[in-house]
């Protein structure tokens, strides 16, 4: 069997036919979401084996929300007279 690929359509930096790692039953792909891809994104995975047979329909679609904005810091001051 072949190695599956993943495509993630985004407006800023799309992932197209990236090779996944692992196998033979569990495959993974790590994606560092660059700035500019904020908001909802739908990911689906399809595979092509070594003979060129492609999955007729992609696997189920999963929606994620990408948020590259860091959390805001909170400053805490001691109450007057406390050490």
The pTM score is 0.53
Q: How far apart are CA 47 and CA 29, in angstroms?
A: 13
- pLDDT value of position 40: 84
> Rounded to 5 degrees, what are φ and ψ at 70?
-70, 160
Tell me how many degrees the CA angle 51-53-54 measures, rounded to the nearest 5.
140
Are 6 and 45 in contact by the 8 Å Cβ rule? The answer is yes
Question: Each residue's pLDDT tens digit in the chain (83 positions)?
Answer: 577 777 777 766 788 888 888 888 788 888 877 777 788 877 777 777 777 777 766 666 678 888 888 888 888 877 766 66
Q: How far apart are CA 40 and CA 19, in angstroms?
A: 23
**Exposed/middle/buried for residue 4 (C-beta within 10 Å: 0-12, 13-18, 19+):** buried
């Amino acid at each position: 069997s072949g190695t599956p690929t993943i495509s993630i359509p985004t407006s800023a930096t799309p992932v197209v036919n990236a090779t996944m790692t692992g196998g033979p039953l569990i495959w993974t792909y790590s994606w560092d979401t660059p700035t500019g891809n904020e908001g909802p994104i739908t990911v689906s995975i399809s595979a092509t084996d070594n003979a060129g047979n492609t999955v007729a329909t992609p696997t189920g679609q999963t929606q994620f929300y990408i948020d590259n904005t860091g959390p805001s810091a909170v400053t805490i001051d001691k109450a007057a007279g406390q050490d």
